[in-house]
A and B are shown apart, each in its own frame.
Chain A
Amino acid sequence: AQSVAQPEDQVNVAEGNPLTVKCTYSVSGNPYLFWYVQYPNRGLQFLLKYITGDNLVKGSYGFEAEFNKSQTSFHLKKPSALVSDSALYFCAVRDKRGTGRRALTFGSGTRLQVQP
């Protein structure tokens, strides 16, 4: 079984401050991990993914995420938040084993609110 948890429904941060959106996962084998962002009334947009190799993954719009196997976490980070980053963020996981017929499992989403 595979699952992902986003423990915070909402994260509030002031513009210019660093932001972190948390994600922890559970898989039987090793994970493929993804972050997506959803703006109001829009579809999900891909931000970044971890496949293998370097634990720090850089993605779109200045976002990055750090894979931590011992803590089974994949937190999303940005050094300096923008008001335009305000959106709903989803973490997703897929177990490397049997991926051909295994769906991507999404977390419940975290709403990021960046105040000017």
Chain B
Amino acid sequence: DTAVSQTPKYLVTQMGNDKSIKCEQNLGHDTMYWYKQDSKKFLKIMFSYNNKELIINETVPNRFSPKSPDKAHLNLHINSLELGDSAVYFCASSQGLGGTDTQYFGPGTRLTVL
């Protein structure tokens, strides 16, 4: 039973295209996140949602738009893809917004923009 799942696992696309990455968690958690891991493995928060409400929105280009249809899903849509968007994107979830809450990560989506 996969706790946090992402699709697709790999995504190769051309500059200028629009693409989406989907995330689902079956842990019953209220909070979900998107992280970006660059080629040097540096991991940075992009967004977090709590019960479908946007909580954290770091300095991310507005080409990136998260959507949470329900608290078990958090999708990431990217418009007008650029070379610099190439990275691994991780979804994560936690029980709540509490500082002690452990985040559980999905397997990642490797995005390559050509």
Chain B residues with Cβ below 8 Å from A116 are none
Contact with A along B1-43 (1 / 0, CB 8 A): 0001000000000000000000000000000010000001111
Residue contact A104 to B108, C-beta cutoff 8 Å? no
Contact partners of A34 in chain B: CB under 8 A = 102
Q: A42-B108, A43-B4, A108-B40 are in contact. Are A103 and B99 (CB under 8 A)?
A: no
The residue that B98 contacts in the complex, of A99, A103, A108, with Cβ under 8 A, is A99
- Among A18-26, A44-52, A66-74, the stretch that binds chain B is A44-52
- CB < 8 Å neighbour of B105 from A32, A43, A51, A102: A43
Q: How large is the interface on B (under 10, 10 to 19, 20 to 34, 35 or more residues)?
A: 20 to 34
Shortest C-beta distance, B46 to chain A (Å), equals 9
Which of B40, B43, B90, B102 gathers the greatest number of chain A CB atoms within 10 Å? Answer: B43
Alpha-carbon separation in the docked complex, A103 to B104 (Å)? 14
Q: Which of A41, A100, A108 is within 8 Å of B42, CB to CB?
A: A108
Asked if B100 contacts A32 (CB within 8 A), the reply is: yes
Q: Which of A44, A90, A103, A106 contacts B56 (CB 8 A)?
A: A103
| A103 B45 Cβ-Cβ under 8 A | yes
User: CB of B66 within 8 A of chain A?
Assistant: no
Is B97 interfacial (CB-CB < 8 Å)?
yes
Q: Mark A22-65, 1 if CB is under 8 A from B, else 0.
A: 00000000001010101001111110010100000000000000
Contact, CB under 8 Å: A101 / B4: no
Please, which residues of chain A bring their CB within 8 A of the CB of B56?
Answer: 101-103
Interface residues of A in 62-116 (CB under 8 A from B): 88, 90, 94-96, 99-106, 108-109
Write out the residue numbers on chain A whose beta carbons fall within 8 Å of the beta carbon of B4: 43
- Whole-angstrom CA separation of A34 from B104 in the bound complex: 12
What are 7 residue pairs bridging A and B, where the CB atoms are less than 8 Å apart in the complex? A43-B4, A44-B105, A95-B99, A99-B98, A101-B97, A102-B56, A103-B48
Besides A34-B102, A100-B99, 10 other CB < 8 A contacts? A38-B41, A41-B108, A44-B92, A95-B99, A99-B97, A99-B99, A100-B97, A102-B56, A103-B56, A105-B45
